[in-house]
Amino acid sequence: MAKSISLSPDADISGNWVLSTGSDYYAILGTPEDGQWVSTPQIGRHVRMTLEDFDYNYDSIISVQVCISGYRGGRSGTHDVTVDIENDSNVDYYSDTHILTGNGGIPATYCSSEYTTSDGGSTAWTLSDLNNLRIYFQSDEDNVDSVYVHSTYINVVYTIPTYTSDDNIIIKNGLITLKNGLIDIK
């Protein structure tokens, strides 16, 4: 059975966007609240953060996907923002450019593809990969009306292990099934 969990930012590494409040990017972007955002009118401005650990019992990682929620300031036009999934050495696993629109000043969610491998080939995601992920995003153009980002996170889709014992007792998804046997409680 597949399950999905979102990993939120848990610490800042670097950044030079304007914060609506406070001094921590992860605090704004990891737990979004109305009226909180980071913004910039300038090209090349960036934010880089670590993510909370993946602390779930799993059998396999199906996919990883990065999402941001934001909008372009002003009444019209678009603003390109590059969003990267990185390892703990700031090396990209994947990089996507999203075209943020004005959307009436209401944040819209922009997500990457669901990446099934860590290398674009055949290398499956590992627990070490997940626990060392970073999110990086940057403004790709100048815009006097700024671009605003309200949240960012990584979705992880994974399978839950199935446990069997003597083919008589099956524990799956928290349910116990007894087949062809007796229960002996001592």
**Domain ranges across the chain:** 2-161
Residue 10 has pLDDT above 90, yes or no: yes
pLDDT band at 169 (very low <50, low <70, confident <90, very high): low
| CA–CA gap between residue 25 and residue 38 (Å, rounded) | 7
CB 30 within 8 A of CB 10: yes
What number of CA atoms fall less than 13 Å from residue 108's CA on the CB side? Answer: 15
Asked if residue 121 has pLDDT above 70, the reply is: yes
25 contacts 17 by C-beta, under 8 angstroms: yes
pLDDT on residue 41: 96
pLDDT band at 152 (very low <50, low <70, confident <90, very high): very high
Instruction: Report whether 170 contacts 162 (CB < 8 A).
Output: yes
Is the domain spanning 2-161 CATH 3.90.25.10? The answer is no
| CA distances for 74 relative to 79, 110, 148, angstroms | 11, 19, 11
Region 137-158: mean pLDDT is: 96
pLDDT of 176 reads 74
Q: How confident is the model at residue 76 (pLDDT cuts 50, 70, 90)?
A: confident
